[in-house]
Amino acid sequence: MNNEKALQLLKDIIAVQSVDGKEKEVVDLLEQPLKEAGYECEQVIFAEDPTRTQLVATLKGTKPGKVFGFSGHTDVVPVGEIQWDSDPFTGTERDGKLYGRGTADMKAGLVAQVAAAVRIAEENATFNGEIKLLISAAEELGLLGAGELTEAGYADDLDALVIGEPTDLQITTAHKGVFWLRVKTFGQTAHSSTPDKGINAIDHLVLAIQAIQEQLDIDVTDPVVGPSTMSLNYINGGNGNNVVPDNANALFDIRTIGGQDTDALFNQAKDILDRLKDSVPGFQYDISVEADVKALSTDKESSLVQAAKDSLTNNNHPIEFFAFSGGTDASQFTKAGDYPIIIIGPGEMSMAHQPNEYVKVQDFYDMIEINKDIALNFLNQ
């Protein structure tokens, strides 16, 4: 698969609006060249929805050995309200950049892995062990696809994994975990002309939000990835404009660092809400964990990191490390065992989820060769 064909494949999958769905259309496009190159491919249905599949593709080397994995996700986030300069679902080249939703996060990274895997087969490169691609769905919704793949055992045999999220071709060995807390408040409906006859769940949710924002202790910092953070990104509630609401809920997005105890955070939040229950008449709540995925922390001295460093040097790129602040599928795949995982891909993380998202075309091309060398370096160590 030459650069031109890889770029066309990238444009083809950008054209699939895989926003919370349609992952199978992307998988079908990626599976074809892998199959032609000799990979054994299995589409795994996600969430019992046949329009949402994940892809597991493997190629065995000449002798038994380690299993090297590539992984990326096929879904993208919605376009949003801000007008783009070009159609987000048409890959558009301008000044050496390719614009489109998912170029950075992370369809370019994904195709750079698939193209590398195909090239290894086409060039009859010798390697021991096995190359395995784990292409996930529904990453943007809370790493759900990778969670299913991990649970089903597809990551159990991995000895190393490279995730192609955008790092601007720098190596990431650590990132934060994701901890989502849902807080619900309950009240009692009444006609809004007589609000004193009801209990306003939205008023109580506001109190809960303020208390958690002020009192929950997330004041810890990691030297590589920085401080733990909390952002309130979603609230919902009410039944209509003339009814005192009997329900409301909020979802807190907490990003954890290695070693931060999420059970303790949950208990602390519960204590804060219990104190409100004691002091506010009619205050009723429920709190639940919607996601608890691990922070990533890979040893910089591991053989995978060495393979990546050698590959960057081979391809005339500087060796740089990048502290990733978002969560990735690594948080799921790391549950399958104690093996090194790194993140490296084309595009800048600051471009992800933004209007006029782009990837530099040359970086995309370079990443194909870098991926190829990482896999071969690792398997032939």
Angle at 39 between CA 33 and CA 40, to 5 degrees: 125
Q: How far is the CB of 227 from Zn ion (least distance, A)?
A: 22
Burial class of residue 81, CB neighbours in 10 A (0-12, 13-18, 19+): exposed
Q: Position 283: which residue type?
A: F
Instruction: Mark the segment that binds Zn ion (CB under 5 A) among 157-165, 189-197, 296-304, 337-345.
Output: 157-165
In this complex, which beta carbon is closest to Zn ion, that of residue 33 or of residue 164?
164
In this complex, which beta carbon is closest to Zn ion, that of residue 106 or of residue 181?
106
Instruction: Provide the token pair at 145.
Output: 């696809």
In this complex, which beta carbon is closest to Zn ion, that of residue 141 or of residue 319?
141
Number of Cβ atoms within 10 Å of the Cβ of 48: 7
Q: How far is the CB of 347 from Zn ion (least distance, A)?
A: 10
Q: How far is the CB of 165 from Zn ion (least distance, A)?
A: 5
In this complex, which beta carbon is closest to Zn ion, that of residue 119 or of residue 175?
175
In this complex, which beta carbon is closest to Zn ion, that of residue 23 or of residue 165?
165
CB 52 within 8 A of CB 138: yes
- 90 alpha-carbon distance from chain centroid: 23
Q: How far is the CB of 241 from Zn ion (least distance, A)?
A: 38
- 111 near Zn ion, judged by CB under 5 A: no
- 296 near Zn ion, judged by CB under 5 A: no
Residues between 158 and 177 that touch Zn ion (CB under 5 A): 165
Q: How far is the CB of 349 from Zn ion (least distance, A)?
A: 9
Q: How far is the CB of 101 from Zn ion (least distance, A)?
A: 12
In this complex, which beta carbon is closest to Zn ion, that of residue 130 or of residue 165?
165
- 376 near Zn ion, judged by CB under 5 A: no
Instruction: Mark the segment that binds Zn ion (CB under 5 A) among 101-109, 181-189, 208-216, 243-251.
Output: 101-109
- Total residues in contact with Zn ion, by rule CB under 5 A: 3
Instruction: Mark the segment that binds Zn ion (CB under 5 A) among 11-19, 104-112, 202-210, 246-254.
Output: 104-112
* Whole-angstrom distance, CA of residue 34 vs CA of residue 28: 10
Q: How far is the CB of 65 from Zn ion (least distance, A)?
A: 30
Number of Cβ atoms within 10 Å of the Cβ of 75: 26
Which residue's Cβ lies closest to Zn ion? 105
- 105 near Zn ion, judged by CB under 5 A: yes
Of 249, 254, 252, whose CA–CA distance to 235 is shortest? 249
- 106 near Zn ion, judged by CB under 5 A: yes
Instruction: Mark the segment that binds Zn ion (CB under 5 A) among 23-31, 100-108, 270-278, 340-348.
Output: 100-108
Q: How far is the CB of 351 from Zn ion (least distance, A)?
A: 11
Q: Which residues of this chain interact with Zn ion, rule CB under 5 A? A: 105-106, 165
